[in-house]
Chain A
Amino acid sequence: MVAAFLSNWRFSAGQTVDKWSLLVLILCAILLGPVAALVVTAFGDSGGLWPHLLETVLGRYVLNTLVLMLGVGVLAVGFGVSTAWVVSRYEFSGRHVLEWMLLLPAAIPAYIIAYTYTDFFEYAGPLQAGLRDLFGWTSPRDYWFPEIRSLGGAMLVMASVLYPYIYMVTRIAFKLTSSSLFEIALVHNKSQFWTVGLPLARPAIMAGLALVLMEVVSDFGTVEYFAIETLTLGIFNVWLGMNNIVAAAQISIVGFVFILSLLGLEIYARSRQQYAGSGRSQRPLTPLPIGPIGKFWCYLACLTPLLFGFFIPVGVLLKFVFAAPFIQHLSALSGTILNSVMIAMFAAILVMLVSATIVLTSVYRASEKTRSIALVSSTGYAFPGTMLAIGVLIFASTIDRSISGLTNGNVSGLLVGGFGVLMLAYLVRFQAVGYGAMLSGARRLPANMMNASRVLGQGFSGSLIRVILPLLRGSVLAGGLLVFVDVMKELPMTLLLRPFDFETLASFTYQFAKEEMLETAALPALMIVVVGLVPVLLMNRMLRRIS
């Protein structure tokens, strides 16, 4: 089938298959394998469950999912773009610290933030208790307070930890925009943000937003804890409640279609526009001085997302850490920390290698078809982790069996049960992160950069390595960092696919958090944030050198 597809592809391209494109197609086939496995599962017999679902819950699931996507999308874009704009455009003290601090919420796992937020905002939490003391209320019937375990609460909580996906790429986009363009806007008395910054950063914002929305569709931890009936919650109700994994796979395909249509819209909107600056600013973008009122807005813009995405959850975690004797746990954690760092590092390198290959090939030499395949292959992110892990298991065990058959059983169990399957899973899931970072970077490079290099005698690979990749250092670093932090906190796939007796910080945290033993879970959860801090600081230093 693959051969037929390839020959067909060659035929329509009217030329021999380019080796780079072939490599990209093979990589995409690997990335799409687990998704295909889920699609195959979805073709099974769901036992006539759909009439019941349509009649009772499906409408609610779809509506809740759409509203949640909309709310989180708007909030996250608001947080991400406003912070990226003020830290890259205006001069105010503390700007350099805020620049990297704004990334920190990305390191906080969603299943932890849900717990901490409930603790903070609920009836017995410090906020309501303080209000009761202040106003002399004695029971919940005395006053109205917004319920944190609601659709609105979930929007706030999720946007507060997801906006860094947008912030990160958008900030790079702003920094790489030539300062002369902003000056043109200033001369013409037009808004620098609305006429220059925002339109030129659109590919980056969209890349970040796509990640955020995929994360929203696939999230289980937060929606379960907040009892929001989204499609993903429905998937698990059908799978575990009705023992019907076929119907569960079918619902997850519905979520997948949501994401595909969003991507389609974005491609359509962009199809007639190409963004190209001159690559690097002729002059570095110098932040503008700003008056006291402007500074106030800058601080407000930066501190609001930090408050919700970092200070509140970390504050709650710290409260728990100091409430329990934790020294005994700390020493036990060292091996776990090492495990987490190792898998996150290898996964980040692997994902960035693959996404750089795919993005640069598809941008510079592949056909339109290959580009579309490359885009679709980065949508593993839209599946709930556990479902994707099941797809990965089916796909990997098929490969294992094929290899075992080819080698007469000499090589067996190559992937499943070891680290291979875990790395494959991370690659499939977080390819979207690397892909988004690379693509938004590559889109901003002028097309003639590659052409010039080729004219000057460099081959394609030489041009990539000597010209294009150095220009995209920022994107590679940004993508690698996000993948690192994502893998550090990733839970459902790690939990299900890890080898025997292998604990990561996330899996270790979860077994306590699940029992609502927050005092014990707080320390490993905090370690996820602390360990995530190291690459954030490193990367920030490198980014500053670039800009």
Chain B
Amino acid sequence: MGILSKSTRGNNRGNTGAHTGGNNPKSPFAMAKLLGATMLALAGVSGVMAPPVLATDSINIYSHRQQILIQPFLDAFTAKTGIETRIVYASKGLAQRLQAEGAASPADVILTVDIARLSEYADLDLLAPTRSTILEQNIPAHLRATDGRWFGLSERARIVVTSKERVAVGAIAEIEDLAKPEWKGRLCSRPGSHVYNRALLASIIAADGETKATAWAKGVVANMARKPQGNDRAQAKAIFQGLCDVAIMNSYYYGNMLFGDEAEQRDWANAVNLVFTNQDNRGNHVNISGGGIAKHSPRKAQALAFLEFLTTPEAQQLYGEINYEYPVNPAVTVTGPLASWGSFKRDQLPIERLAELAPAAQKIIDRSGW
């Protein structure tokens, strides 16, 4: 190791000291050049890629839903009203972006995929309370905020799927059944802390209380065929592969697998039966996708027009056609594949309760190791 030379940095320091007298005029100049170059780089970026100037009649949307799923609604809205739309999609953190932007925020409409995100915006006081007879007429009271800050726009059921080959029809009727010992080593699910499972557990807390919900979560974990992992589609895939017999899944994934572009996913969907649970008591747990108007929206009238449009029969049908979600508007009848899965009783729990109980649900999830 003789190659490593030991030395101090004293030499360098000495030089630096001698130099700091300012007897070299080049130094600040070079510094300015460097800074200038940095600024130029930044300016270049802004100049070359400056966002287009906002059209006068247009709205800005912060969306937790992918643009691919939202675009048909935007196109229909623009075609009908002439109002253009611009969108930023992100899965998390948009509430913090809106909060940081404060009164200067350009955002008009927030769209989310579940109640947890909606209530995050509401908790941070980022949504404008809105009164609209159209929205109140088109959306049942339990699917919107009492203070008018947010509105449910579509319903998605969290259902149980069972193997066509290995599980008899009717073997599972209640969501509570999943904790029964007979399903030991036969159950699959995504991790408990995923927002969909958290909301499901919140609904069980609301119906059965925390003690029973904790016992249920522990029973479910004990029944797992494998460590909780993957997303909802991966659970159907696991049933198809024979890794497990029973899984929890959102209803629209079934439609997307059955009718989507991905060929192999059709086999996954065809391997399972759908079970709407708790039909003899409270009904199947549902969550919503929803939206609200940003507190500092500069174009609240257009934003409201957009939300109202999303509850019209035309747009409500689109939810079913594009993503196999259920309409919230009671006047809209379900058609197509959605209708073929049969009608079912939905849990009428005020959707706000799911958000209120989410922290308690997460604690149970932490304790049970789901």
Contact = CB atoms under 8 A, between A and B. Distances in A.
B26 to A, nearest CB: 4
Nearest to B256: A515
Interface string A479-506: 0000000000000100111111111000
Q: Is the interface of A mostly helix, strand, loop or mixed?
A: helix
A242 B260 contact: no
A392 to B, nearest CB: 9
A237 B41 contact: no
Nearest to B98: A393
Interface residues of A, number: 106
Given A18-B16, A57-B366, A243 B42 contact: no
Contacts of B301: none
B305 interface: no
A242 B359 contact: yes
B24 A459 contact: yes
Given A324-B261, A339-B49, A393 B96 contact: yes
A420 B51 CA distance: 12
Given A240-B92, A459-B27, A199 B41 contact: no
A120 interface: no
Interface string B13-35: 10111011010101111110011
Contacts of B261: 324, 517, 519-520
A335 B28 CA distance: 41
B38 A343 contact: no
Interface stretch (A96-104, A273-281, A300-308): A273-281
Given A275-B4, A353-B37, A460-B27, A365 B363 contact: no
A497 B16 contact: no
A317 to B, nearest CB: 14
Interface in B296-334: none
B101 A390 contact: no
Contacts of A236: 92
B4 A243 contact: no
A461 interface: yes
A324 B362 CA distance: 39
Given A52-B363, A124-B237, A342-B48, A501 B86 contact: yes
B227 interface: yes
A56 to B, nearest CB: 4
A120 to B, nearest CB: 14
Q: Is the interface of B mostly helix, strand, loop or mixed?
A: helix
A464 B26 CA distance: 11
B161 to A, nearest CB: 16
Interface stretch (A284-292, A409-417, A530-538, A539-547): A409-417
Interface residues of B, number: 93
Contact of A512 (B68, B119, B365): B68
B89 A241 contact: no
A518 interface: yes
B68 A393 contact: no
Contacts of B57: none
A512 B66 CA distance: 8
B97 A393 contact: yes
B303 to A, nearest CB: 15
Interface stretch (A80-88, A164-172, A250-258, A394-402): A394-402
A243 B119 contact: yes
Contacts of B66: 511-512, 514-515
A413 B106 CA distance: 10
Contacts of B60: 500
Contacts of A496: 90, 92-94, 97
Interface string A228-244: 00000100111111111
A507 B89 contact: yes
Interface string A138-173: 011000000101100000000000000000000000
A20 interface: yes
A176 interface: no
Given A353-B37, A393-B96, A460 B87 contact: no
A365 B12 contact: yes
Interface in A250-275: 272-275
A242 B31 contact: no
A19 B27 CA distance: 8
B3 A196 contact: yes
Given A227-B191, A447-B7, A514-B91, A350 B15 contact: no
B37 A451 contact: no
Given A461-B27, A500-B87, A500-B88, A400 B104 contact: yes
B359 A241 contact: yes
Contacts of B97: 393, 416, 496-497
A63 interface: no
Given A243-B123, A394-B96, 17 more contacts: A19-B27, A52-B366, A56-B366, A118-B230, A199-B1, A227-B230, A243-B116, A244-B359, A366-B16, A417-B101, A417-B105, A418-B46, A496-B92, A502-B51, A515-B256, A519-B261, A520-B261
12 contacts: A16-B20, A18-B20, A19-B27, A237-B193, A245-B96, A274-B6, A353-B37, A404-B104, A417-B105, A420-B46, A496-B93, A516-B233
